[in-house]
Structure 1
């Protein structure tokens, strides 16, 4: 292994793992809705969330699941 290759391998940025949980604000950004609307969806059970300690978190796949359910409802109507 040459010095240039070794330097490149060491300085290559490591990609951060995809988040498993989102904050409510991050989930709202994913859905392009406001924070208050996101909390309303959580309150009604339309958007899955859970408590981690004292923090409300949304599973990373929950916004996509919510969207899929809404699309299916609209197509059925």
Structure 2
């Protein structure tokens, strides 16, 4: 865990173009895993990726395949 990269609630909100309150709501509802480090919540990159994967509408095509037109 010490080698993971962490982001603040503000950074995640800006990255996903949502409000900080929305990110805190996800954390409170245990939809997004976060760590309370005293000065605020921190979200590991791996936990944000898992959250986004759970909310995708369909799996991403394998990285080895190319979409038409590329």
Moved over 6 A (4+): none
Higher helix share goes to which structure? 1
Q: Match of 1:24? A: 9
Unmatched 5+ stretches in structure 1: 1-18
CA RMSD of aligned residues (A): 1.8
Output the TM-score relative to the length of structure 2. Answer: 0.65
Output the TM-score relative to the length of structure 1. Answer: 0.60
Unmatched 5+ stretches in structure 2: 59-70
From the CA coordinates, give the structure whose radius of gyration is larger: 1
The count of residues paired between Structure 1 and Structure 2 equals: 55
Q: Match of 2:22? A: 37
